[in-house]
Amino acid sequence: MPYCVGLTGGIGCGKSSATDMFAALGAGVVDTDVISRELTGPGGAAIDAIRGEFGADYVLADGGLDRPRMRALVFADPDARRRLEAILHPLIRETSRRRIADSRSPYVLLVVPLLLETGSYRDLLNRVLVVDCDQAQQVERVKARSALTADEVRSIMNAQLPRAERLALADDVLRNDGDINHLRAQVERLHSRYLGEARPQS
């Protein structure tokens, strides 16, 4: 298996920004959010199972998941959320594993927003990289980007691992507490290190 770094962090901390920077430098990227959308898009590998479990009402005419309808269901019904996750998680994990194995990049970044909450990707990873910023910055950045209120952002944050626990589980940390160039400089340093560590030792 290629050398693989798991990238995670709280909502709005800068995971996507950092991932784009690593990709521009030549890292391979496997993004579990992207895989999840593919699996539930038109013709996606999860659609038959979703139709079987929840009924044809949850599948749109184009063959993709009716996302707003499913979002409303799992928001109101924790058991439905568990049943959806029981369909999706094994498929996401297997697709991730295959894409990492097939990658021809010098190393791979596996992006998993809830990496440390689920714990189910550790066996694929050589290192865990956490993108970190303080809570006030998190709330500001997410609010600037979406229509969520500060309260809604905080309620998402409360469902995620507390910052201190996440940092305690990190091998490497990107401190995204400055401007974008501050983040880029740290990404460049880590990229060089990962290239060095990924090179087969002889």
Ligand X SMILES: Nc1ncnc2c1ncn2[C@@H]1O[C@H](COP(=O)(O)OP(=O)(O)OP(=O)(O)O)[C@@H](O)[C@H]1O
Instruction: Report how far residue 194's alpha carbon sits from residue 180's, in angstroms, rounded to the nearest whole number.
Output: 21
DSSP category for residue 122: G
One of 5, 7, 13, 115 touching ligand X (CB under 6 A) = 13
**Residue 191: which of Mg ion, ligand X, none does it interact with, CB under 5 to 8 A by kind?**
none
Binding of ligand X by 145 (CB under 6 A): yes
Distance CA 189, CA 86 (A): 38
Output the residue with the shortest Cβ distance to Mg ion: 16
Of residues 51 and 143, the one with the C-beta less far from Mg ion: 143
Which residue, 40 or 176, is less far from ligand X as judged by CB? 176
Residues near 15 by Cβ (< 8 Å), separated by ≥ 6? 7, 8, 9, 111, 113, 131
Q: How far is the CB of 11 from ligand X (least distance, A)?
A: 4
Nearer to Mg ion (CB atom), residue 15 or residue 191: 15
Binder of ligand X out of 4, 5, 11, 153 (CB under 6 A): 11
Residue 185: its H or E element: helix 180-198
CA triplet 3, 172, 145: central angle to 5 degrees? 100
What is the rounded distance in angstroms from the CA atom of residue 37 to the CA atom of residue 8? 18
The residue range among 96-104, 120-128, 159-167, 178-186 that interacts with ligand X, by the rule CB under 6 A, is 178-186
Contact call for residue 15 and ligand X (CB under 6 A)? yes
